[in-house]
Amino acid sequence: MKVFVPNQSGGGETRVALVPVVVKKLASATVEVLVESSAGVMSSHSDDAYRAAGAQMVGGDGWAQADIVLVVHAPTAELARQMRGGAVLAGMLAPQRNMELIQALAQQGVAAMALEFLPRITRAQAMDVLSSQANIAGYKAVILAAERCPKIFPMLMTAAGTLQPVKAFVIGAGVAGLQAIATAKRLGALVSAYDVRPAVKEQVQSVGAKFIELPLETAGAQDAGGYAKELTPEQQQKQRELMAKVVIESDVVITTAAIPGKPAPKLIPADVVAKMQLGSVIVDLAAESGGNCELTEPGQIVQKHGVTIIGISNVPATVPFHASQVYANNLANLLKLIVTKEGTVKIDPADEVIAGVLLCQGGQVVHPRLKEMMAHA
């Protein structure tokens, strides 16, 4: 069996699907790992390190040779058409935005797996790429804020006077939000947080933040998978109004609120940004899906009304060494599920995990959500 890792360093991507330490665990008498030249350079992994781990360095022809292709982000439809029938493509494929790609993969007879669709069950946690990358993003968001903020985070008592700690407010207490809270707390900030799901209050408090409770009816704000559900327009308006006071009083605001498959909810209006203190910083981790702040410019760092708004779209890629490491571990755990001891691919659609991520197989789009989207396109 041949597993191929392409070089995806174009377009600002610095991560790689497998790192040498994981390649070493995978390479065996039945599994050959092919890595495209320079695939790991941006994440500080040399071609020599891959060779030492047992990989074979190849060119772009790996797409046509491979039984399994592991990617960080979705490839072009042109590259996908180089894959052979019966091969597997796995990674973060963003299928809602890449319908042409999914159709091309189906036509090729490729089995495509979008790991963003993993079911939130215990058995799938070790493959959960969204959580592993969100953890990295939550940490880095605080570092980005600290770099841009004109204040230091901790309280300092010096002969020259006492410096008050930064007030940090985290919106959204999922994986990224909880990591942001913990990181800001470690740096010495006074941290508060809000989430539309009241059930996360204890988690917020356990990592050192004050949970902001808003008098807002949010029953049913969480789906069966533990994800936040979209509020009604009336609830969103009330939420913005109630949250404005906390935002205005904060030195640093980190937003992480996202609704799977939908644009990010706008939680910080432009008029609220205008009332924030000069030098305040907003890090919008939802920038890739449009942003939680009305003034966020996806992919940009801008200043509006004296407030720095950081809308970097791919924050995990700013910490590529460790982001790649945890991502590679996620993919290695997926391979354990679909590769037999004899080195053959076995995809069982009856398996709950496989059923959750499998987009197409045997020339057909098989994922119910995608079939419905295509029917209404």
Q: List, by residue number, the catalytic residues.
A: 120, 125, 128, 131, 227
Main-chain dihedrals φ then ψ at residue 71, nearest 5 degrees:
-125, 160
What letter represents residue 186's amino acid?
R
Residue with tokens 């996908």: 80
- Contact predicate 116/129, CB 8 Å: yes
Residue with tokens 């996202």: 258
Beginning with the edge strand found earlier in the chain, give each strand of the sheet holding 281-284 in spatial order: 210-211, 190-194, 167-171, 252-255, 281-284, 307-310, 301-304
DSSP letters along 68-92, please?
Answer: EEEEEE---HHHHTTSPTT-EEEEE
Is the alpha carbon torsion for 156, 157, 158, 161 positive or negative? positive
> What is the C-alpha to C-alpha distance for residues 87 and 104, in angstroms, rounded to an integer?
13
